[in-house]
Chains A and B, each alone.
Chain A
Amino acid sequence: MTNHWNDIANSDCVMIIGCNPAENHPISFKWITQAQEKGAKLIVVDPRFTRSAAKSDLFVRLRPGTDIALMGGLIHYILEKNLFHKEYVINYTNASFVINKDFGFHDGLFSGFNPEKHAYDTATWGYQTGPDGKPLTDPTLTDPHCVFQLLKAQYARYTPEMVAITTGVPKEVFLKMAATYAATGQPGKSGTVMYAMGGTQHSTGVEIIRSYTIVQQLLGNMGVAGGGINALRGENNVQGSTDMALLFNLVPGYLVAPMEAAHPTLKDYLDKNTPKASFMINMPKFFVSLLKAFWGDAAKKENDFAYDYLPKAGAGFQGAGYSWIPLFEAMGAGIIKGILVWGMNPAVSSPNLNQTYQALDKLEWLAAFDLWETDTSVFWKRPGADPKKIKTEVFLFPAADSLEKEGSASNSGRWVQWRYQAVKPHGDAQSDLWYANRLGLELQKLYKGDPKAVFPAPIVNLNWNYGAAPDVHQVAKEVNGYTVADKKQVLNFLALKDDGSTACGCWIYSGSYPGPDKKNNLMARRDKKDPSGIGLYSNWSWAWPVNRRIIYNRCSADPAGQPYNPKRVLVRWDPAANAWKNNDVPDFGWINPATKAQIPPEVSAKTPFIMLPEGKSRIFVPGGLCKEGPFPEHYEALECPFHNPMSPVQSNPVVKIWKSALSQLAEVCDPRFPIIATTFRVTEHWQGGAMTRNLAWQAEMMPEMFVEMSPSLAKAKGIKAGDWVKVKSIRGEVLARADVTHRVAPFCCGTGGFQNTVEMVALPWHFGFAGLITGGPNGHNYAANQLAPEVGDANTMIPEYKVFLVNLEKA
C-alpha cells in the first residue's frame, strides 16, 4: 500500500476493485465505513455481488478479466470531460514528456512487435531527449507526441458503448461510476483504489494494476491522504517476506538479483543497476552493505565483497525464469530434486494441481515446516495416489505459531509491528528462526568437514554467528545495519557506505532498530497518540521507509508547497518561517542533511517521485519495463468465451504458453467449456486452508466446498441448491455443492452478430483433501485449483486463477 489502513477514513471516494475487504480483510472495513460516515462514496467493482458490494453506494458487475477495458473507459471519460487535476498532471507526472516519433499503436499492437519471438523491440518506447540528455517536455500538453496526447489517442476507442460491449457493465452504470470517481480529480479531493488478487491474477495482471494507477495519476490521487494505490496483502507478513526477497528475482530491499547475462561481475552489477539520477544513485551503498551483512569479514574489497558467492540467475526453465509455474514445470521435468517448504500449502494453492502433484511425486525429498499436517506434506496419501509408487522422502518439522515466538511482521500498510512470545511451543516444535539457524549450522559443519565439498566458501564463510539458540533481536539489528568496525547500529540507510565499512541486511528496514538496546526497537512502539489528526499514528510501531506513512507525499501539496487539502496536511511549506511543517516524514529532499538548511518547495516540485530517474510518475512506462506496452491495452484472458471486441489481438501477445500433456488450455469460445469460472475466498477460511480447516470453530462455520451459480444456469442444468455437482475444466475436475444464488449472474458481451450471453460460476479455493475438514465426504479432493490454468502474466508469471473455462453437471 502507498497509504495505510487508518488512512482510508480520509477518502472522499473508495473504489474496491479486485478485492473483497468486507470478507477477506474484515477489520479494514471499519475505516471504509468511517469514510462513508463522513460522506465518502463506495464503489465496488467485482464479478460477484460480494459482502463489500452489499455495503456499496454503487455495485459495478464486471466480466472477470476486463478491468483494463473499464479503466480505459474511465481514462477516456476523464480526458474527454476535462476532469483531470491539471496542475498535478503537468507538474508531477510524465504527461508532458515527448515520446519517440516512431512510437505507435496499431490494430492491437504497439510498435516493434516481433511475431516470431512473441516479444517487442522496445527501442521506440522512450522519451525524446535534448542535447543535455534530459527528456523533452511540453507543459502545454499539446505536442502530438507528448504522453498526454498519446494517452488520449490510446483510449479514444474506449467509449462507454465499447466498455459495455467488453465488460458487460451497462452504459448507465458505467457513466455513474465514472462521474462519481472522476469527482476526486478536483484539487483537495481524494479517491483511493483498493485491490488484491482479483486484479493481479490475470495474464494481463501488471497492466491491469497499471490502468488503476493511470486513473490515480490523472485525478491527483497519489501521495495524498485518503488516496493512493493500495494492494491488500493476504498474509500477515507477505509484505515482509517480499521486502526480505524470498523471491528469485530480488535480493532484500527490492534490489535486483544478479543475473548471469547482465551482471557477471560486481562492476557490471553496479554499473547496470545504478541510475544516473534519483535516490537510487545510492544503490551501491545498499548492495555492498548487504554483501557485508551476508559474508562479514570474508566480503572484502579485494574479492568484490564476495560478489561471486551470490548465485547468478540464468534463463530459468524453458527460458521463463524461476518463478512459480517454471518451478513446478522444472520439478515435473525432474530438474528440482529437493524442496524446503516453509508454512505453505502448494497442494491446494498451486494452479493446475494435477501437474503440481505429478511434480511432487518426482522429488527425491521434501521438507515441510508447519504447524499441522498439510495437504502438501501428505501429497503421497492424496485420493487416487498409490504411496508405494511415490519415492519422495518426506520430513515434516513441527513449527511454532506466532504466539509461541518473538519477532516482527509487516502489515499491508508497511507498518512493521513487533510481537512477543506468549507461550512456549509444543513438544519438539521450534520457530522457523531456530530451524533456519540450525540448518545453517549443520551445513557449515558438513562443509567444513568435507574436503571434497563443492564450492564450500559461501557456506563456511557465511556470517552466521547466532549461536545454538538464535536471538531474534540480534537478527533484527543486523537487518537494520551497523558500522563494521565498532558494531554500532546505524541511524538509517543514509549512513550506509559502499566501501565495506557498513553492513545492512535490508536497507529499507534501516532505521527500525537504530540503537543497541531493546528500547531502541522502534517496531515495538505503542504510542497511540495521533498528533496529525489524520490517523498517521507515527509513534505506533515503525513503517518503512524511515517511518514514512504515506509515500510520494510531496504531491499532497502544490508546487509552492501549499497542501491541496488544508484539513489533510502531510507536508506544508511555511513561507513566513521559510521552513517545512510536516505531519509525515517527507518523501523528498526538504532539508540539507549537512547544513540543516531548509530546501524551498520549488526544488522538490521538480522531482516529487524521488525513486524514478525522471522524477515524475509514469503515465507512460518507457523502455519495456512493462512487456506488453507503455500503456495498458485490453486483451482477453487465455481461456475466454468471447472474441476481443477492442482489437484483432485476442490475448496478451507476449505471454508464454506452456505446452505439455498436463498443461492444456481450452480453445477460445470452446464449446466443451462454455462457462466462465473464477475463484474467491471466504472470511472463515484462509488461503490453502491449513490454518482454518484444522480449527473446529472455522470448520463448523464453513464446512463444505461449494460452487456459486446463477438460478438460470442451475435451471438449465437441472441442478437444485445443495446438489453435489462436478465442475470440469480441460485440466481437471472438482466436486462442489451447488449454491444457487443471485450473487453471480451471466454476462452479455460482444458486438453485433457476435453478441452472446455467458454464465459464470465462482468457487472458493481453500479446500483440499487433508485436515480436520477437507470440503466434503472423505476420499475426494475439493481443491478448486485442480481446474485453474498454468498461464502466467508476461511480467510476473502470476497465474491466471481469476478467469478460466469450465462446464458442470450434477454429480
Chain B
Amino acid sequence: MPISRRTFLKIFGSGLAATGLTEVICKRSGWAASIPSAKIKEAQITHSICPYCGVGCGLVAYTKNGKLVDVEGDPDHPINQGTLCSKGQAVFEVVTSPRRLKKVRYRAPGSDHWEEKPLDWAMQTLAQRVKATRDSSFITKSPGGVTVNRTEALASIGGAALNNEECYLLAKLSRALGIVYLEHQARL
C-alpha cells in the first residue's frame, strides 16, 4: 500500500507521541516538526570516516548537484552512533573553506613570494629533482662490499592523514627509490 505523505506524517506523529519524545524532538510545533531540514532534503548521501583522531567516527556527507551541503555524524555507525565532537562537526568547513589550495604554488630559491604553476610542470620538475638528488647520492655498495642500494639524501615524511592505499603506494615508491629516511606522525 502506497503511503501518502499525510498518512506517513500521521503515523510518524503518533509513534513519537507513543514514545513520549514528542516534546524533545518536535521543538517546532505542528507539521513543521516532522519535515526534514531543507538543507539535506533530497540530498545525495555518501558515507565517510572522520579525518581527525583515531576513533574513526562515521560521517554522512550530503551533496546536491556535486556540492557539499552538510556533514553529520552517521547514526548507523557503531562507534559514534550519530554524534561528533567539535572537530568532526567542522569537516564541512575543511571542504568548503576558501583557504583550501586550488593550484600548485612554487617558491624559487631566495624568493619572498609564491608563484602559481601548472600541475604538469610541477610534477615533471619534482621528478627531475628527485632523480637528480637520488642519482648524485646513491650508494650501491657499503665499504664492506654489501649491496645496499640506498640514498641518504632523500627523505619522505608524513602519511597518517592519508588512506591506506595511498600509504601503500608511498611505501612502495620510496623503497624503489632507495629512501631510508622514511618517517611519519607515529613517532610524534
Q: Which residues of B contact A686 (CB under 8 A)?
A: 52-53, 87
Complex-state Cα separation, A388 to B87, whole angstroms? 38
B5 contacts partner chain A, Cβ-Cβ < 8 Å? no
A310 B149 Cβ-Cβ under 8 A: yes
Contacts A310-B149, A453-B135, A454-B135 given: A436-B156 contact, CB under 8 Å?
no
Q: How far is the CB of A13 from chain B (nearest CB, A)?
A: 21
Contacts A25-B54, A453-B131 given: A344-B184 contact, CB under 8 Å?
yes
Q: Which residues of B contact A339 (CB under 8 A)?
A: 154-157
Which residues of chain B (142-165) have a CB below 8 Å from chain A?
A: 142, 146-165
Complex-state Cα separation, A760 to B103, whole angstroms? 45
Q: Mark interface residues in A775-811 (1 if CB within 8 Å of B CB, else 0).
A: 0000000000000000000001111000000000000
Q: Which residues of A contact B112 (CB under 8 A)?
A: 380-381, 387-388
Complex-state Cα separation, A406 to B154, whole angstroms? 29
A417 contacts partner chain B, Cβ-Cβ < 8 Å? yes
How many A-B contacts are there with CB distance less than 8 Å?
Answer: 482
Q: How far is the CB of A687 from chain B (nearest CB, A)?
A: 7
A528 B76 Cβ-Cβ under 8 A: yes
A311 B166 Cβ-Cβ under 8 A: no
B166 A236 Cβ-Cβ under 8 A: no
Query: Which stretch (A182-190, A366-374, A665-673) binds chain B?
Result: A366-374
Query: Which stretch (B8-16, B29-37, B120-128) binds chain A?
Result: B120-128
A311 B154 Cβ-Cβ under 8 A: no
A107 contacts partner chain B, Cβ-Cβ < 8 Å? no
B78 A395 Cβ-Cβ under 8 A: no
Contacts A26-B85, A420-B47 given: A436-B169 contact, CB under 8 Å?
yes
Q: Which residues of A contact B40 (CB under 8 A)?
A: none
Contacts A27-B84, A336-B152, A399-B101 given: A537-B181 contact, CB under 8 Å?
no
Give the nearest-CB partner of A509 in chain B: B164
Give the nearest-CB partner of B56 in chain A: A411
Q: Which residues of B contact A367 (CB under 8 A)?
A: 126, 129
Contacts A235-B54, A327-B183 given: A403-B90 contact, CB under 8 Å?
no
Which residues of chain A (417-453) have a CB below 8 Å from chain B?
A: 417, 419-424, 426-433, 435-440, 442-443, 445-447, 450, 453
A553 contacts partner chain B, Cβ-Cβ < 8 Å? no
A371 B183 Cβ-Cβ under 8 A: no
A364 contacts partner chain B, Cβ-Cβ < 8 Å? yes
Chain B interfacial residues counted at CB < 8 A = 115
Q: How far is the CB of B78 from chain A (nearest CB, A)?
A: 5
B67 contacts partner chain A, Cβ-Cβ < 8 Å? yes
B78 A692 Cβ-Cβ under 8 A: no
A479 contacts partner chain B, Cβ-Cβ < 8 Å? yes
B100 contacts partner chain A, Cβ-Cβ < 8 Å? yes
B105 contacts partner chain A, Cβ-Cβ < 8 Å? yes
A314 B168 Cβ-Cβ under 8 A: no
Which residues of chain B (78-105) have a CB below 8 Å from chain A?
A: 78-81, 83-91, 93-95, 97, 99-105
B38 contacts partner chain A, Cβ-Cβ < 8 Å? no
A57 contacts partner chain B, Cβ-Cβ < 8 Å? no
B93 A412 Cβ-Cβ under 8 A: no
Which residues of chain B (3-50) have a CB below 8 Å from chain A?
A: 46-50
A349 contacts partner chain B, Cβ-Cβ < 8 Å? yes
Complex-state Cα separation, A537 to B71, whole angstroms? 24
Contacts A233-B54, A309-B176 given: A422-B46 contact, CB under 8 Å?
yes
Q: Which residues of A contact B154 (CB under 8 A)?
A: 336-340
Q: Which residues of B contact A251 (CB under 8 A)?
A: 171, 175
Which residues of chain A (171-190) have a CB below 8 Å from chain B?
A: none
Give the nearest-CB partner of A244 in chain B: B167
A432 B166 Cβ-Cβ under 8 A: yes
Contacts A248-B183, A393-B109, A443-B177 given: A398-B103 contact, CB under 8 Å?
yes
A324 B187 Cβ-Cβ under 8 A: yes
Complex-state Cα separation, A535 to B90, whole angstroms? 28
Q: How far is the CB of A806 from chain B (nearest CB, A)?
A: 20
Give the nearest-CB partner of A420 in chain B: B46
Q: Mark interface residues in A316-347 (1 if CB within 8 Å of B CB, else 0).
A: 10000011100100110001111111111010
B161 A235 Cβ-Cβ under 8 A: yes
A758 contacts partner chain B, Cβ-Cβ < 8 Å? no
Q: Mark interface residues in A227-266 (1 if CB within 8 Å of B CB, else 0).
A: 0000011111111111111111001100000001100100
Complex-state Cα separation, A327 to B152, whole angstroms? 10
B61 A422 Cβ-Cβ under 8 A: yes
Q: How far is the CB of A338 from chain B (nearest CB, A)?
A: 4
A331 B56 Cβ-Cβ under 8 A: no
Q: Which residues of A contact B175 (CB under 8 A)?
A: 251, 294, 309-311, 458
Q: How far is the CB of B179 from chain A (nearest CB, A)?
A: 7
Q: Of A28, A453, A475, which one neighbours B169 at CB under 8 angstroms?
A: A475
B133 A337 Cβ-Cβ under 8 A: yes
Which residues of B approach A to under 8 Å, CB–CB? Answer: 46-59, 61, 63, 66-68, 71, 76-81, 83-91, 93-95, 97, 99-112, 114, 119, 122-131, 133-135, 137-138, 140, 142, 146-188
- Residue contacts A-B, CB under 8 angstroms, 13 given: A237-B159, A237-B163, A238-B185, A252-B171, A312-B146, A322-B182, A342-B184, A404-B95, A410-B164, A419-B59, A432-B163, A454-B134, A528-B77
